[in-house]
Chains A and B, each alone.
Chain A
């Protein structure tokens, strides 16, 4: 089975801190995604990547950046954390070939105080 691992289940950070959220997948998937999930708003796409060193903005990229130096690892960076970035962050991956399923990590609940 595909395994998508997010490095932390819970994180508490201070306003203004730089925050790194790490995601690793073990199935050689080309596509990787970062979503945030908020009550009443559902899942919203922050950034995605179709290949190493490649990134595309999603629907809400402001305040975030990403890094994909290796195929298996996709990092989400909050340059200067703010309280409105308190959320559940979900990483996902999929193959590029047709019929691909989307596989999710277990999520990181980030609280910015």
Chain B
């Protein structure tokens, strides 16, 4: 059974620092992995999608990497800003692309001004 874990559950860092959020999954047979951002009381916004054949994806100050063999993904945020404060969730789709998507419980990030 696929399980997705995000540690830590919460993280506070000073503004301007670079930071890394972690995501681990138990079954390496994945189709893709997606990172989301969620603001309080809102829906999820897709940030980056990495296919199983890819190693990383970049968008602006965000970079997501994928290491299937070790069952890990990281989301790197450069030069953090207070507006980056949110909960970040990762989700994996198992190898059959019609299969369900499994979410981690997220890391709540607070950027200190």
Contact = CB atoms under 8 A, between A and B. Distances in A.
B81 to A, nearest CB: 22
A64 interface: no
Interface residues of B, number: 21
For the residues of B in contact with A, the DSSP-based class is strand
Interface in B91-113: 91, 97-98, 100-101, 103-106
Interface of B: 32, 34, 36, 41-46, 49, 51, 89, 91, 97-98, 100-101, 103-106
Interface of A: 4, 6, 33, 40-43, 45, 48, 50, 58-59, 88, 90, 92, 96, 98-107, 109
Given A42-B106, A101-B49, A104-B45, 18 more contacts: A40-B105, A41-B105, A42-B89, A42-B103, A42-B105, A58-B100, A88-B41, A90-B43, A92-B44, A96-B98, A98-B97, A99-B32, A100-B97, A102-B36, A102-B44, A104-B44, A104-B46, A107-B42
